[in-house]
Chain A
């Protein structure tokens, strides 16, 4: 895929672990995922409301969820999780494409939405990506999903393509 990227890299991104108090007063910890995180992620996605699915993910049902998590946690990818105690409540992932760029997606469970977790989780995942030397990140979002697009733009993503159902947005983390 040929996408354009902004010229200037983002700066001032946090790196995990990050602890903060969300908009509803809960203490949330954001950490990089380890192999032991698969089960809490399966739990999180089993609780996921189908109205918040995006372009077919997360899939529904335990087996499809496990298969999908296998894909997004392969060696070259980067996964960051937001925790409320021992419950995974948010998950951001950066998955390598064939092009040396990374595709980003993020999900926050319904009970913890609209509390600032998504923004913090995204910034932290991008910060970790930056410190691991990832330069280019892209995502696709349904073009009617205005709240998500607003969050991505606030963080620094730019719209690069509106020719299809999905809007492509890109951000630069490092110069090349």
Chain B
């Protein structure tokens, strides 16, 4: 099981990371972490959140940065490297609690040829 997990600066991003690692550990498989910015959090900030989260697990993962057009980069990578699944954070909450899906999530949902999981 080869998972690639997109992590943005949202709470759901870290949830997506945690769940992907647990799944990979159960099923045996590799996780690649792809960091991308949601426009609000800088990539290096996201990377330090991710490092902190990763320290709780005994696992080696590759971490890559997607600086531009993260949606299409994720899909290209998944196809080129033969990932089984793309895992993404399940949206952002608006001030009054509505879930909004980013352009990145929408792009991946519509264009991916693999299974896509949104984590809440």
Please give the residue numbers on chain A whose beta carbons come within 8 Å of chain B beta carbons, in ascending order: 54-57, 59, 68, 71-72, 77, 93, 95-98, 103, 105, 140, 163-166
Contacts and interface: CB of A to CB of B under 8 A. Distances in A.
A68 to B, nearest CB: 5
A140 B93 CA distance: 12
A103 B103 CA distance: 20
B97 A166 contact: no
A97 B98 contact: no
A90 to B, nearest CB: 16
B9 to A, nearest CB: 14
B100 A55 contact: yes
Given A164-B106, A165-B106, A56 B101 contact: no
A96 B98 CA distance: 14
Interface of B: 91, 93-103, 106
B103 A140 contact: no
A7 B102 CA distance: 27
Please list the 3 inter-chain residue pairs (A to B) with the smallest Cβ-Cβ separation, ordered nearest first.
Answer: A55-B98, A56-B99, A95-B96
B96 A103 contact: yes
A97 B100 CA distance: 15
B96 A105 contact: yes
A96 B100 contact: no
A154 B99 CA distance: 25
